[in-house]
Amino acid sequence: MRYIAPKDAADLDAIETREWLDSLDYVLQSGGPAKVARLLRELTIHARQNGVKLPFTANTPYINTISADEQVLMPGSPDLERRIKSLVRWNAAAMVVRANKAEEGIGGHISTYASAATLYEVGFNHFFRGHEHRDGDVIFFQGHAAPGIYARAYLEGRIDETHLENFRRETKAGGGLSSYPHPWLMPDFWEYPTVSMGLGPIMAIYQARFMRYLEDRGLKPQSNSKVWAFLGDGETDEPEALGAMTLPAREKLDNLIFVINCNLQRLDGPVRGNGQIIQELEAAFRGAGWNVIKVLWGREWDQLLAKDRDGVLVKRMGEIVDGQYQKYAVSDGAYVREHFWGVDPRLLEMVKHLSDDQLKKMTLGGHDPVKVYNAYKAAMEHKGAPTVVLARTIKGYGLGEAGEGKNITHQQKKMNEDELRAFRTRFGIPISDAEVGKTPFYRPAEDSIEIKYLRERRKALGGYVPTRKNRSEPLKTVPNELFEEFYKGTEGRKASTTMVFVRLLSKLLRDKDLGRLVVPIVPDEARTFGMEALFRAVGIYSHAGQTYEPVDMDTLLYYKEASDGQILEEGITEAGSMSSFVAAGTAYATHGVNTIPFFIYYSMFGFQRIGDLIWAAGDARTRGFLLGGTSGRTTLAGEGLQHQDGNSQLFALAYPNCVSYDPAFAYEIAVIIQDGIRRMYVDQESVFYYLTVMNEQYAMPEMPKGAQEGILKGMYKFRNASKPDAPLRAQLFGSGAILPEVIKAQEILESRYNVSADVWSVTSYTELYREGHAAERWNMLHPGDKPRVPYVAQCLKNAPGVLIAASDYVKAMPDAIDRWLPRPLVALGTDGFGRSETRASLREFFEVDYRYVVVATLSALARDGTIDASVAAAAMKAHNVNPDKANPAVS
Ligand SMILES: Cc1ncc(C[n+]2csc(CCOP(=O)(O)OP(=O)(O)O)c2C)c(N)n1
Ligand SMILES: [Mg+2]
């Protein structure tokens, strides 16, 4: 056999490869892509059968998904669009630079928008449909790109120079602009908050699904609307960003388009310096069943790729890691020629006609409007799956020496005069050298072709985006009949507040007006809360209906899935469920539909786990009811440390527009929910509700006369002391499942210790706290006027005796109202980690059962000198309370 020198082996390899490629080209030309695909599939099978181990890959080569041949021409005027984009770029940069001119700069970001400008402008000029369009879109803008969105709104004449000047100066007269998308702060402009990274993508996914839900249930006309979510490549590391990615593919949500701005950088440095974020994302999304469109290279590269007969260029493109690509972005053409092209003479040959300067200027796909247009067009037309556009860009594009592609670019907020001049020149902004240092904003005249073009484009596409407004008709009334039954109590029958809530929910669902608007949401906990009867009654929503015979078909309460099902049974995802809650609770603005979401979950996995999404819900002016089920540190027996919630009421206090309650009785729940629907859907207040509901069963009493107002304000007298003139007096506060313990303590105190106590049901420490502080603040600002008296103080004005509060939450709750009480109170609460035990043992452990209420009362009376300490000590003995017991807060 003839010895083949290594060099010849390489040559032979090349010849062989060439022959195979030629054959493939022949099949492609004669039989088309489908035939090539079939042939490759068969080749793969054949190779496998013969023992060839093919490595798994979910990737395609590192080139554009849409080839140059498939590309269409872009409609409209590319020149005008480029000019408009340049103006937006300038104004976006100018507003940030001006906001940071002063010593005490107030931040802002230039480089995120600089990299994403084309991605947005192509959308604004050709794709994003406003709410006046029958297929109006929902768009989640990347938070840090906000300056660009403002700069465009300025050109559109929707915001003026004062606004731009007051970017991040929101308290300024004339109006400021919020740092990021915040509907709470700019309710006519922003629709969805996105700046907490990862929340935009997951909310977008569930928004797309909720749009289908509204259409399938006939609450909204069928449409071709899309949900667009713009996100950063670094952002995809947030678990929420990709955590729900299988849902839209499974549900074939072709109304969803993600656009990931792959500038290969995040805040500190490269996203994947030693790898390729685009390929990583491609594999993940393709694996999950998405339509993936890579937009990596601009048009200049098409000619080079056409010359790449041997695939050397494609191979070279695919072997460079992102850190190195970033290096090319900041280097000159000579460096790129040497290091990128110089590794193979065939590559050098390909670019020998290009100067170093031309090499340097070869644009990336995400900066080429034609490439981006084609990607969006394909995304709009794709059927049966969501689309992700992976667009490659350069962070800080256009900033040149001021930061383009550099690791510091995310934090770049200032530009010196030279840098501004270069930026101005690069984008052709008509500002003179003399003026440029002042970074003036620039808007062409109203009748200029740029402004006319931009307005005309938005008009054709259904109005400006983003625009937010309430598009729904308020409900007229909340029918009383639905709630009255609960005022009567259960006549001795035992029920839990969860059962009460579920019964109320079932009634609401059956109501002829309200029923269809109710959206029950559960993360795989319906059986936990005894809601399974609803499966059959209203069905579980599934676009596909039910394509199988459910295993419990022969039972009354079978697991019924239906395309017009009403329940959103989300599976084990509180984050996903919360995103549905946001979609349903903002539909009054987004879709003009007053849907009323009720999201019930394990209370520990709410504020504690997905608090940031709840915060975003508040920002988005979401309406609806969150129900913290199985709540109470001692009421949920057995489940232990990770489940037993004694915190959520405290967390809820910090959410400004969250109205929270810890109700004990059926009528309290009825009053709160009835009033909640009124406030949110009749009066259109931007609040949402949080109610904790429990699984302990006890008899539900009848509502005391006139209790409604107090229930809503946060406290009311549930039961009077039987001997108001007794010498020993106490005021006992109880909440939620601990209220029955307090009532029991009242009886023991009266019968055994001659202490006569009033019992108050405290439904909401947070409401009392807020009202008290509001009164105090008013008093501070009006020193000469008659002071306002907080509601708590009014309730307790002449109340005699010691004050004892017990709840299943941390002691900070009652402490929050202490300042407005006539005397300091004694707080009993559940500070500390929970543990698995029975209910009674837990209450003993956390010192919140009736015995501790008795002991705390007697002990407080002894401290006051009203009784002898020995009485309290004897009571402790009688009730087995060990004074040397370890402190549960720290054990
Ligand atoms: C939850 C959360 N963590 C951290 C941040 C702070 N932060 C803002 S932008 C940013 C980097 C963004 O990188 P990338 O997603 O790649 O967006 P780019 O600006 O590159 O387009 C970080 C860490 C944040 N906004 N939200
Ligand atoms: Mg990035």
Phi and psi (nearest 5°) for 418?
Answer: -60, -45
Look up tokens 């819900």; give the residue.
617
CA atoms of 253 and 57, how far apart (whole Å): 25
| pLDDT at residue 4, rounded to an integer | 53
| Residue 606 token pair | 């709410």
> Ligand 1: which atom is nearest the Cα of residue 233?
16
- Number of neighbours of residue 500 by Cβ within 10 angstroms: 22
| pLDDT at residue 57, rounded to an integer | 87
Q: Check pocket membership of 267 for ligand 1, CB cut-off 6 A.
A: yes
Nearest to 598 by CA among 586, 584, 610: 584
Q: Which ligand is nearest to the CA of 111?
A: 1
Q: Check pocket membership of 195 for ligand 1, CB cut-off 6 A.
A: yes
Look up tokens 């002829």; give the residue.
512
Helix (H) or strand (E) holding 231: strand 227-232
- Cis bond upstream, residue 466 (ω within 30): yes
Chain centroid to CA 805? 36
Q: Residue 544 half-sphere exposure, CB side, CA atoms within 13 Å?
A: 10
Exposure class string for 203-224: b at 16+ Cβ within 10 A, else e: bbbbbbbbbbbbbbbebbeebe
| Torsion (CA) 792, 793, 798, 801 in degrees, nearest 10 | 70
Helix (H) or strand (E) holding 390: strand 387-392
Residue 429 burial by CB count (10 A; 0-12/13-18/19+): exposed, middle or buried?
Answer: buried
Q: Which of 266, 280, 397 to mutate to test the pocket of ligand 1 (most atoms within 8 A of CB)?
A: 266
> Ligand 1: which atom is nearest the Cα of residue 143?
25
Nearest to 142 by CA among 167, 165, 172, 109: 109
> Ligand 1: which atom is nearest the Cα of residue 236?
15
DSSP 8-state symbol, 491: T
CA atoms of 348 and 351, how far apart (whole Å): 6
Helix extents (H) in 365-412: 369-381
- Number of neighbours of residue 139 by Cβ within 10 angstroms: 28
What angle is formed at CA 675 by the lines to CA 671 and CA 676, rounded to 5 degrees?
A: 115
Residue 129 burial by CB count (10 A; 0-12/13-18/19+): exposed, middle or buried?
Answer: buried
Coil vs helix vs strand at 541: strand
Q: What is the largest CA-CA distance in the chain?
A: 119
Residue 837 CA, ligand 2 centroid: distance in Å: 48
| Residue 601 token pair | 């979950």
From residue 281, give the alpha-carbon distance in Å to each of 140, 242, 260, 539.
19, 9, 9, 36
| Residue 316 token pair | 């070279």
Residue 629 CA, ligand 2 centroid: distance in Å: 39
Q: Which of 96, 110, 144 to mutate to test the pocket of ligand 1 (most atoms within 8 A of CB)?
A: 144
Give residue 652's identity as a one-letter amino acid code. Answer: A
> Ligand 1: which atom is nearest the Cα of residue 263?
20
Residue 111 CA, ligand 2 centroid: distance in Å: 10
Distance spanning both ends of the chain, measured CA to CA: 82
What angle is formed at CA 835 by the lines to CA 830 and CA 839, rounded to 5 degrees?
A: 70
Residue 676 burial by CB count (10 A; 0-12/13-18/19+): exposed, middle or buried?
Answer: buried
CA atoms of 526 and 506, how far apart (whole Å): 13
Residue 266 CA, ligand 1 centroid: distance in Å: 6
DSSP 8-state symbol, 787: P
CA atoms of 208 and 703, how far apart (whole Å): 43
Q: Check pocket membership of 266 for ligand 1, CB cut-off 6 A.
A: yes
| pLDDT at residue 872, rounded to an integer | 97
Ligand 1, atom 23, residue with closest C-alpha: 267
| Residue 88 token pair | 């937006």
Residue 232 CA, ligand 2 centroid: distance in Å: 5
Coil vs helix vs strand at 99: helix
Residue 250 CA, ligand 1 centroid: distance in Å: 28
Residue 395 CA, ligand 1 centroid: distance in Å: 12
Q: Check pocket membership of 197 for ligand 1, CB cut-off 6 A.
A: yes
| pLDDT at residue 162, rounded to an integer | 95
Which residues neighbour 775 within 8 Å (Cβ) at sequence distance 6 or greater?
Answer: 787, 788, 789, 790, 791
Angle between helix axes 850-863 and 869-878 (nearest 10 degrees) is 170
CA atoms of 287 and 698, how far apart (whole Å): 51
Residue 815 CA, ligand 1 centroid: distance in Å: 38
Ligand 1, atom 7, residue with closest C-alpha: 267
Residue 236 CA, ligand 1 centroid: distance in Å: 10
CA atoms of 735 and 149, how far apart (whole Å): 47
Residue 397 CA, ligand 2 centroid: distance in Å: 12
With contact defined as beta carbons under 8 Å apart, do 230 and 140 qualify?
A: yes
| pLDDT at residue 54, rounded to an integer | 85
Q: Which of 267, 326, 615 to mutate to test the pocket of ligand 1 (most atoms within 8 A of CB)?
A: 267
Give residue 481's identity as a one-letter amino acid code. Answer: E
CA atoms of 343 and 130, how far apart (whole Å): 49
Q: Check pocket membership of 612 for ligand 1, CB cut-off 6 A.
A: no
CA atoms of 717 and 721, how far apart (whole Å): 10
Coil vs helix vs strand at 540: strand
Residue 511 burial by CB count (10 A; 0-12/13-18/19+): exposed, middle or buried?
Answer: middle
Nearest to 750 by CA among 783, 724, 768, 772: 724
Q: Which of 261, 410, 411 to mutate to test the pocket of ligand 1 (most atoms within 8 A of CB)?
A: 410
- Ranges under pLDDT 70 in the chain: 1-7
CA atoms of 120 and 92, how far apart (whole Å): 13
Nearest to 89 by CA among 149, 148, 166: 148
Give residue 204's identity as a one-letter amino acid code. Answer: A
With contact defined as beta carbons under 8 Å apart, do 626 and 606 qualify?
A: yes
CA atoms of 473 and 720, how far apart (whole Å): 44
Nearest to 702 by CA among 741, 747, 671, 677: 671
| Residue 604 token pair | 């520990």
Coil vs helix vs strand at 287: helix
Q: Check pocket membership of 233 for ligand 1, CB cut-off 6 A.
A: yes
> Ligand 1: which atom is nearest the Cα of residue 196?
26
With contact defined as beta carbons under 8 Å apart, do 829 and 852 qualify?
A: no
Look up tokens 């200027």; give the residue.
361
From residue 465, give the alpha-carbon distance in Å to each of 7, 639, 720.
61, 48, 58
What angle is formed at CA 438 by the lines to CA 433 and CA 442, rounded to 5 degrees?
A: 80
Look up tokens 């390929």; give the residue.
279
With contact defined as beta carbons under 8 Å apart, do 633 and 644 qualify?
A: yes
| pLDDT at residue 425, rounded to an integer | 96
Residue 288 CA, ligand 1 centroid: distance in Å: 24
Chain centroid to CA 651? 18
Phi and psi (nearest 5°) for 145?
Answer: -90, 5
What angle is formed at CA 854 by the lines to CA 667 and CA 797, rounded to 5 degrees?
A: 65
